[in-house]
A = this chain, B = another copy of it.
């Protein structure tokens, strides 16, 4: 007999019950328990009931890890998601969409933040791979993703999000960056603006490059020569964006409008325009929506992205491939939407 203080009993309590324990308690073989747990046919109602009761009594939870080891399809029902930061609203919206699609298939999602750190990309991907994720959804920052080639060949679906992969052929889901920028710039041109400043992030980032391209091409197409003085790159935080705006406003012929190519930059622009008392004089269109944009004065006109669609499309693509879809890698382009709110409709002075 075992008492509460008997170390063997404590040991037994701590160890999670196994299929064998359930089988013994129910007086059947392990395979029968396996059949019941996995709802396989050819088990009598009575046996099912007995096994269920035993499992219930022991609070048995099957160990998926052990099961997956031998299972034919070798799936872990697990997905890895790599984003800029799970705390960033854009990434969080992508994450949520991925989770919702995954949930339909009883797939759990590992999420990991990158912070634009290439080392972290490698270590996170490896951490996921060692845990045998069935598929990967990645926002990458490594210059090349060739290191993933072997996994792709091995049949692990990899879908890139918000970036196009380099050195590897894989699916990608991206916002129509250049076209969105074109929409913003044409909106400003139509109001009569000609001196339209561009404030953007590091050109090493794919999305920054694309948006800038859209800006430049659109100006040229409309017969406006881009001016170097009105173009500022490498703005990787709010403060830098603010400073850049202050400098632009101090020019002899300051811009009458600003196209801000990223979220955080837009916030810096707003702050700076306000403190210069220029927020109702200089037009502003931002790429990517800003929280509370509609409640600001003036409300901020933006080219909004659709992170929920991006996440959903990426997740569906992963599952389509897991279901055996075998077509060449392709891009999925997700449209943007110009949301007119006020700041972008200010006319040139």
Min distance, Cβ A85 to any Cβ of chain B, angstroms: 6
Interface residues on A, range: 35 or more
- A144 contacts chain B at the CB level, 8 A cutoff: no
Q: Beta-carbon contacts of A50-69 to B below 8 Å, as 1s and 0s?
A: 00000000010111111011
Interface contact A65-B297, CB-CB below 8 Å? no
Interface centre among A86, A126, A153 (most CB of B within 10 A): A86
Question: Contact string, A284-328, partner B, CB cutoff 8 A, digits 1/0?
Answer: 000000111001110000000000000000000000000000000
Contacts of A274 in B (CB 8 A): 295
Cα separation A178 to B297 with both chains bound (whole Å): 34
From B93, B109, B129, A61 is in contact (CB under 8 Å) with: B129
A32 contacts chain B at the CB level, 8 A cutoff: no
Question: Which among B76, B87, B106, B290 is the interface contact of A95 at CB below 8 angstroms?
Answer: B87
Task: Enumerate chain B residues within 8 angstroms of A290, measured Cβ to Cβ.
Answer: 292
Is A150 an interface position by the 8 A CB rule?
A: yes
A78 within 8 A of B: yes
Q: Is A118 interfacial (CB-CB < 8 Å)? A: no
CB-nearest residue of chain B to A294: B271
A106, A111, A132, A296 pick with most chain B CB within 10 angstroms: A111
Closest chain B residue, CB of each to CB of A65:
B65
Distance to closest chain B CB from A147 (angstroms): 9
Q: Is there contact, CB below 8 Å, between B86 and A111?
A: yes
Given A13-B153, A296-B292, A87 and B96 touching (CB < 8 A)?
A: yes
A89, CB-defined interface residue at 8 Å: yes
Q: How far is the CA of A296 from the CA of B95 in the complex (A)?
A: 28
- Please tell me if the beta carbons of A89 and B86 are within 8 angstroms of each other in the complex: no
Bound form: Cα–Cα A42–B72 in Å: 37
Whether a CB of chain B sits under 8 angstroms from the CB of A201 is: no
Taking the complex as formed, is A139 at the interface, i.e. its CB lies under 8 A from any CB of chain B?
no
CB of B292 within 8 A of CB of A130, answer no
Interface digits, A148-161 against B, CB 8 Å rule (1 contact, 0 not)? 00100111000000
A43 CB within 8 Å of chain B: no
Closest chain B residue to A85 by CB distance?
Answer: B96
Question: With an 8 A cutoff between CB atoms, is A206 at the interface?
Answer: no
Contact of A99 with B by CB under 8 A: yes
With a cutoff of 8 Å between Cβ atoms, the chain B residues found around residue A93 in the complex are: 87
Q: Which residue of B lies closest to A16 (CB)?
A: B154
Partner of A128 from B62, B108, B296 at Cβ < 8 Å:
B108
Taking Cβ atoms with an 8 Å cutoff, the residues of A that contact B are 13-16, 59, 61-66, 68-69, 76, 78, 85-89, 92-93, 95-96, 99-100, 106, 108-113, 126-132, 150, 153-155, 267, 270-271, 274, 290-292, 295-297
